[in-house]
């Protein structure tokens, strides 16, 4: 099993110029994974893209956490639906190639 790399929240906060409480709040909303082992908050490297997107929505668009949570849920659902449409299109093309469609 691959070991996940973590970045300390204070490093992230310095880079993005945000308070550690914002990172904690984002984690509390379940928008990103956070770890608070040894009383040090950290974020997985794999979650940095999502964190950056959330910080941009919060800072540049002035969207509160509830709004970001709703937007994140809708974007996740949209991605699932796009994948489902892709699968269905593929299945349809298989049926069309074999003349099995009415």
pLDDT at 35 over 90: yes
Classify burial at 34, counting beta carbons within 10 Å of its beta carbon; exposed 0-12, middle 13-18, buried 19 or more: buried
- pTM greater than 0.85: no
Which tens digit of pLDDT belongs to each residue from 63-93?
Answer: 999 999 999 999 999 999 999 999 999 999 9
Q: In the Cβ-directed half-sphere of 22, how many Cα atoms lie within 13 Å?
A: 18
**Sequence-ordered alpha helix ranges (H) in 1-102:** 9-16, 20-28, 48-60, 65-98
Which tens digit of pLDDT belongs to each residue from 10-21?
Answer: 999 999 999 999
Q: What angle do CA 24, 79, 49 make, to 5 degrees?
A: 35
pLDDT of residue 61: 96
Q: Kindly indicate the confidence band of residue 28, based on its pLDDT and cuts at 50, 70 and 90.
A: very high
Percent above pLDDT 70 for the chain: 95
pLDDT at 1 over 70: no
Domains and CATH numbers, the chain: 6-98 (1.10.1660.10)
């Amino acid at each position: 099993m691959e070991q996940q790399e973590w970045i300390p929240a204070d490093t992230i906060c310095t880079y993005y110029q945000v308070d550690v409480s914002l990172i904690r709040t984002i984690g509390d909303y379940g928008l990103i994974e956070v770890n608070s082992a040894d009383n040090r908050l950290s974020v997985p490297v794999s979650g940095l893209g999502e964190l950056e997107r959330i910080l941009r929505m919060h800072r540049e668009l002035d969207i509160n956490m509830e709004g970001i949570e709703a937007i994140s849920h809708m974007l996740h659902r949209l991605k699932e639906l796009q994948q489902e449409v892709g699968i269905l299109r593929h299945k349809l093309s298989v049926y069309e190639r074999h003349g099995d469609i009415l």
